Chain A
Amino acid sequence: MPILTEKDYTFELILQAAKDGAAAALGAPRLTPSLELETRIVHGEEIGFMVRLLEIFAGPEGAYSQFIYGDYLMGKRFLEQNQPYAILLIGAKTSPSPLAWDCGACGFPTCGEFNRFANENKSAGMFGYGPACNWLMMDFGIALAQASAAIYAKNVDSRQQGSYGAAALILGMMPGMDAIIANSVGPLNRGIFQEWYNRPEMKGSFSMDKIYEMLIATFAYHFGAFSGDGIPMIKNTDDWFWEPFKAGTGPMPEAVEILPQILEKAGEVTLEYEQWLQERAAGDGDS
């Protein structure tokens, strides 16, 4: 093969950029002497399982989370188009704290009390395991920034994504790590929107009605009428003065109902992933 084209080496370059990011993270400057930091690089079918989890977290058409929906569409599109793409996972163990600095940021007067609380209460939230030592977490942040800078130095697009990190955590891709942030690396070439990570696939996903509904719900005060009477009216239509719409507060029971359903579906994908890993390992053994 006398002439190599992008098709021959693009994925290799992306993997190299991801490896450079991993090296930068592992060698990053630290505030503490004791952060346990690990990196992994995943691609191909493994990303497929992460994408499936994000689809569940995002909900139908992003009903549960618009942010995660955009990340889901991005990964789905890359896989469908067979784009050269890898994910650099950077994980950290953020408790117990070996520092003995007694800094107080965690809410406990001493590291010893924090560690006792951590031992008794360690469990998962939406994005990772807590409680976490704030200084170990800051070291984790420094490593993330250095990884991104190393990838950026190669002119390879990348984006730090907590969504894929949470998916990796749930799938057990980095056992022992409390927090994982994913760094999506690649593709090399610029997309038709000149970049890949601005969620271009969100285009056409929502009607203007839906967008205004989100805007009014999020920034009610921006659409508020004269509030001097203590009952602020929201200008939710052009004819708002004929159809008064009152701002207020109320319970959100659907949020409580949806969470167990999401966790159940996520558990199913995790089991499938474990089975896939076992089958792959058995296949490797056969060969």
Chain B
Amino acid sequence: MREKIYEFEPYNRAQKNHTLEVARLAANAALTAPKAGGVDGVECEILTGDDLLALADVMERESHKFSGHVKRRFLYETVMARESDVCLVIGHYRSAGTPLDAGCGFCAGRMDCSFVYNARKTEHGVIDLTAVSPEERAKVPFHGPMCVPRNLDLGIAVGSAMVITQRLLVDAMPFYTVSVAAQRMGILPRSWIKVAILMSSRQKNPYVDVLPDYHLHNLATMEDDLRKMFVTLRGVYWYDYKTWYPRWTKGSGDDPEKE
């Protein structure tokens, strides 16, 4: 058993619980979303509390694999993950292993599914995902090729989940960076691709109005610096409030003692 002790609650516990309820309903919406051929494939997992903070830590570590604007996205959106109440992860467990087999053409512009099947080890048309070693799989966040219409289904499921969050006025946004971190953390291991939606019930939407160098200048760092500066100031200008009250300089006109 692990126990973490925080001095500061990040925000109101009731709001967090309500966001969790919305996330559960959004997950239901993802499950009932329309799918190609009506075939199942969507699964969901909800992260809160320590798990969500751990997810944010993974995002921060992933940022070091990138540079420029992608690195910035990882760093900035890590802040957003830490400000969120809940992360709903939606995965598709058929995208990699059981394609639609409809020859739709989206994976490689062909009238068949040969691009996906030729790239995977198969036995009589059954894809053997166990043939992909963990090392090979870890080279990229989402090991492909995948069945694109299955991933279109995943997008539709994400869209349906977003409808619920919008209807219930909970701020939410799907993020690639959080999705990568969820994959690296092994969330929904059956799904080789997944989309993570952050949700928040704060009075200010944490996913918009982002400052430059947001990983350095955000509400959490500002609050943290406030704590740091304020306690120091208290220490410097301490006095025994029971026996003494500082006087205003002469002639200011604001001296309560004079009144």
For B95, list chain A residues within 8 Å (CB).
105
- Using A28-B159, A141-B152 as known contacts, say yes or no to A131 and B141 having CB atoms under 8 A apart: no
For B102, list chain A residues within 8 Å (CB).
126-127
Q: Fill in one digit per residue for A180-214: 1 if any B CB lies within 8 Å of its CB, else 0.
A: 00000000000000000000000000000000000
A79 within 8 A of B: no
Most chain A CB atoms below 10 A, which of B104, B108, B109, B112: B109
- Using A125-B106, A259-B111 as known contacts, say yes or no to A146 and B162 having CB atoms under 8 A apart: yes
Asked whether B111 lies within 8 Å of A104 as measured between CB atoms, the reply is no
| Docked pose: A139 CA to B156 CA in angstroms | 8
Asked whether A105 lies within 8 Å of B146 as measured between CB atoms, the reply is yes
Bin chain A's interface residue count.
35 or more
A258 within 8 A of B: no
B53 within 8 A of A: no
A115-155: which residues lie under 8 A (CB-CB) from chain B?
A: 117, 121-132, 134-135, 137-146, 148-149
Most chain B CB atoms below 10 A, which of A130, A141, A143: A141
| Docked pose: A259 CA to B174 CA in angstroms | 40
| Docked pose: A32 CA to B111 CA in angstroms | 28
Asked whether B151 lies within 8 Å of A134 as measured between CB atoms, the reply is yes
Which of B37, B110, B143, B157 is within 8 Å of A130, CB to CB?
B110
Considering the complex, give the chain A residue whose CB is closest to the CB of B141.
Answer: A103
| Docked pose: A109 CA to B141 CA in angstroms | 10
For A32, list chain B residues within 8 Å (CB).
176
- Using A106-B144, A107-B145, A134-B193 as known contacts, say yes or no to A125 and B156 having CB atoms under 8 A apart: no
For A126, list chain B residues within 8 Å (CB).
102-105, 111
Where the two chains meet, the residues of A that have a C-beta atom closer than 8 Å to any C-beta of B are 28-32, 67, 94, 100-109, 117, 121-132, 134-135, 137-146, 148-149, 160, 162, 178-179, 259
Where the two chains meet, the residues of B that have a C-beta atom closer than 8 Å to any C-beta of A are 33-34, 36-37, 70, 95, 102-112, 115-116, 119, 139-146, 148-149, 151-160, 162-163, 172-176, 179-180, 193, 195
Given A130-B107, A142-B162: 17 more A-B contacts, CB < 8 Å: A28-B159, A31-B158, A103-B141, A103-B180, A105-B144, A106-B145, A107-B115, A123-B105, A127-B102, A129-B106, A131-B148, A138-B155, A138-B195, A140-B152, A146-B162, A149-B159, A259-B111
